[in-house]
Structure 1
Amino acid sequence: MNETALTVHQTARPQGFPTAEDFAFVESSLPTTAVGGALVRNLYWSVDPYHREMMDDVPGGFALHAPLEGRTIGQVVASRTPGLAEGEIVFHRQGWRTHSVVTPEEIRRLPRFEGVPLTAYLSVLGGTGLTAYVGLTRIAQLREGDDMFVSAAAGGVGTATGRFARLLGAGRLVGSAGSTAKADHLTRQVGYDAAFDYHDGPVGDLLRTAAPDGIDVFVDNVGGEQLAAAVGALREFGRIVRVGTISQYNTPDAPPPRFDYADLVEKSLRMEGFLVRNYRDVQEELYEFAVPHLQSGRLALDETIVDGFEGIVDAFLGMLRGLNTGKIIVRDTTETDSPTTVAPQRRSTTKVYRHRQPAD
């Protein structure tokens, strides 16, 4: 192998919204594989909102001038361990690089299901889908007929949450998004009953119009004004599932949401956050739930595909600015899809763009 390797390093701590200048692509020879390890050529990379938090100078955050990490799917191309055979497809977390050296303990073998592409293991069958599934089944304890509001509903977790909730028997589904086009997509393609662009006015008013009788569950990916609006709309014994606070990732000094804290007591509300890494034991249950629906076509993949590793920084910045619909995944240019593919009608939206500069 005469290839070279590319790795993305963070070079500066962002002040507010990150820019391309906060990253650098570093070229090197292929990493050396020691006894007990294997060299993986990465094929698919996940960029996620949590990466923005890790860019700051926080415990466990990214180190400057060092390779970044992330969820990745790749193929073993050279092995010096009997635990990994050349040609195997593996999942690991040493992403943001074209090649990684891993040990058998650092990878997860992916089960192969007929009709399910590899990208699904980074979207509805991966951390994104697991977050949605845990939020609904473990934290919200969704009951049949529950009316639900989801913020950032057009993102990866939001689309998975809406689709899973519909399959689990939820009642009225309401979502918020960052544009009219995305709100329309939620109702036309994803299964939401109503959706609104949160830029169109006070969120409390928009939510009252979309859910005039109130809601039972709020799945919160945003925080801020949308959390405050949901507290007011929740019925007695309502549940708030805190997934993320993307509205504050790039504005850490923004004031906290203002709402009537008495509502938490008077309506017996429950608010709970969680980290999906604490629910890895639910992964097999997610497969059992989601895979049959993928195979039957009842569950579609919501994915934005970015072609070329060189576009990974643009993909990350675009995701933070909401340019994606569904889960955003970066794909090696030699990959057109996985060995088994999902029929086109089962893939809700697959957009492909290369090196697109995010716009404000």
Structure 2
Amino acid sequence: MNKQIILKSRPQGKPSLKDFETQEIDTPKKEGILLETKYISVDPYLRGRMRDEKSYIAPFEVGKPLESMIVSEVIDSKIEGFKKGDHVVGMLDWKKQQSHTGKDLRKIDADMAPLSAYLGVLGLTGLTAYLALDKIGNLKKGETLLVSGAAGAVGSVVSQIGKIKGCRVIGIAGSDEKIKHIKQKYGVDAGINYKTTGDINKAIKDACPDGVDVYFDNVGGEILDAALQNINKAARIINCGAISIYNETEVPTGPRPEGILIKKSALMQGFLVRDHVSDYERAITDLAGWLKSGQLHYDETIVEGFEKTPQAFIDIFEGKNMGKMLVKA
């Protein structure tokens, strides 16, 4: 039997397994392209789609399958341009098998990189890191780049691009093990364990004695507040994620940044990778080149088993992943 995972109920606060349900469904008819799921991407932004509110992307519907970026294998095709054995990536339902029109699917080359990489370093993760730095960060050699969530999927790529561009890179992560890892594998110059430091503001100041020129924010909340206290004149703050507040049931309040932004003539801008589709090819070309040359490395946390997709998603909010979190179906 085929299987799918639906949103059973909208989470209140942090999601739990009771908010999801795995169902057995009929095998799809052999029309269009028949796809078999290989790897599923689970990402923090999916939490926002579980809310019944207007956003940059439509919310999930209760009682219907969730969706995310998925790598699939074509097991039958009646559409020109796709053949059995091809691998594709695109926004797809959480189903073991599904039929598709082929629209918005991108064929990928398993010989160029492992299939899972197309959901990470060569997928939206890598594109987000590259294009956010390109469009907003405007990195200059010798500058200080501060990265939160530096051991995560996006943050680890951001950190390495910073080094490639000649910056001093400071990474913030949630354990001594992760700090050691990002320094050894990604070349980060210094790290801050936000869970053990008593004063995150002082920790950033000590690690960035010349101030922060670019802050790549993946977490929001108190770490963003502290980073703002340490920015330089004409600093650029990239708001890419805010995982620290995704599970809040009320809108949190905190320090107001306008005074600092004015005083420092700083830019703080939100980033959505979907706004820059026309730049994807250029970004993937550079990312693939760095990967091939050994300048770019990546980590994956791969959970085995389609039915474990909800738990893998929940585990992101507990920091259980190193690099990109994926499910191998």
Instruction: State how far apart, in whole Å, the 1-side matches of 2:159 and 2:262 are.
Output: 28
2:89 maps to which of 70, 83, 91:
91
Structure 2 residue identity aligned to 1:178: G
Kept in 2: contact 1:113–1:291 (CA 8 A): no
Note the residue ranges of structure 1 that are not aligned, 5 or more in a row: 333-360
2:69 maps to which of 71, 74, 77:
71
Is structure 2 residue 213 aligned with structure 1 residue 216?
A: yes
Alignment of structure 1 residues 247-326 onto 2, 5 Å? 247-253=244-250, 255-259=252-256, 261-326=258-323
Kept in 1: contact 2:87–2:110 (CA 8 A): no
User: What is the aligned partner in structure 2 of residue 198 from structure 1?
Assistant: 194
User: What is the aligned partner in structure 1 of residue 122 from structure 2?
Assistant: 125
- CA shift, 1:315, in A, is 0.8
- CA shift, 1:154, in A, is 1.1
Kept in 2: contact 1:227–1:257 (CA 8 A): no
User: What is the aligned partner in structure 2 of residue 342 from structure 1?
Assistant: none
Instruction: State how far apart, in whole Å, the 1-side matches of 2:308 and 2:141 are.
Output: 42
Instruction: State how far apart, in whole Å, the 2-side matches of 1:208 and 1:58 are.
Output: 38
Q: Secondary structure at the match of 2:11?
A: coil
2:15 maps to which of 12, 15, 18:
18
User: What is the aligned partner in structure 1 of residue 78 from structure 2?
Assistant: 80
Instruction: State how far apart, in whole Å, the 1-side matches of 2:260 and 2:270 are.
Output: 18
User: What is the aligned partner in structure 2 of residue 354 from structure 1?
Assistant: none
Instruction: State how far apart, in whole Å, the 1-side matches of 2:82 and 2:22 are.
Output: 28
User: What is the aligned partner in structure 2 of residue 350 from structure 1?
Assistant: none
- 4+ aligned runs moved over 4 Å, structure 1: none
Instruction: State how far apart, in whole Å, the 1-side matches of 2:135 and 2:244 are.
Output: 25
Report the TM-score, using the length of structure 2 for normalisation: 0.95
- CA shift, 1:317, in A, is 0.7
Kept in 2: contact 1:39–1:100 (CA 8 A): yes
Q: Secondary structure at the match of 1:44?
A: strand
Instruction: State how far apart, in whole Å, the 2-side matches of 1:94 and 1:199 are.
Output: 36
Instruction: State how far apart, in whole Å, the 2-side matches of 1:113 and 1:79 are.
Output: 21
- CA shift, 1:68, in A, is 0.7
Kept in 2: contact 1:232–1:259 (CA 8 A): no
Instruction: State how far apart, in whole Å, the 2-side matches of 1:125 and 1:252 are.
Output: 34
Q: Percent identity?
A: 38
Instruction: State how far apart, in whole Å, the 1-side matches of 2:92 and 2:288 are.
Output: 26
User: What is the aligned partner in structure 2 of residue 53 from structure 1?
Assistant: 48
The superposition leaves residues 137-190 of structure 1 with CA deviations (integer Å, 9 ceiling, x where unpaired) of 1111111222011111111011011111111222x2111112222122221222
Is structure 2 residue 187 aligned with structure 1 residue 176?
A: no
User: What is the aligned partner in structure 2 of residue 351 from structure 1?
Assistant: none
- CA shift, 1:321, in A, is 1.4
Structure 1 residue identity aligned to 2:185: Q
Instruction: State how far apart, in whole Å, the 1-side matches of 2:103 and 2:62 are.
Output: 26
Instruction: State how far apart, in whole Å, the 2-side matches of 1:213 and 1:259 are.
Output: 24
- Deviation larger for 156-165 or 293-302: 293-302
The superposition leaves residues 308-340 of structure 1 with CA deviations (integer Å, 9 ceiling, x where unpaired) of 2122111111112110011111113xxxxxxxx
The superposition leaves residues 29-87 of structure 1 with CA deviations (integer Å, 9 ceiling, x where unpaired) of 211233xx111001111001111111111231100010111100111112222232121
User: What is the aligned partner in structure 1 of residue 143 from structure 2?
Assistant: 146
User: What is the aligned partner in structure 2 of residue 9 from structure 1?
Assistant: 6
Kept in 2: contact 1:223–1:257 (CA 8 A): no
Q: Secondary structure at the match of 2:67?
A: coil
Report the TM-score, using the length of structure 1 for normalisation: 0.87
Structure 2 residue identity aligned to 1:192: V
The verdict on how the C-alpha distance between 1:177 and 1:82 changes in structure 2, with shifts beyond 3 A counting, is: same
Kept in 2: contact 1:70–1:94 (CA 8 A): yes
Structure 1 residue identity aligned to 2:105: I
Kept in 2: contact 1:220–1:227 (CA 8 A): yes
- CA shift, 1:260, in A, is 5.1
Kept in 2: contact 1:10–1:23 (CA 8 A): yes
- Deviation larger for 84-93 or 13-22: 84-93
- CA shift, 1:259, in A, is 4.6
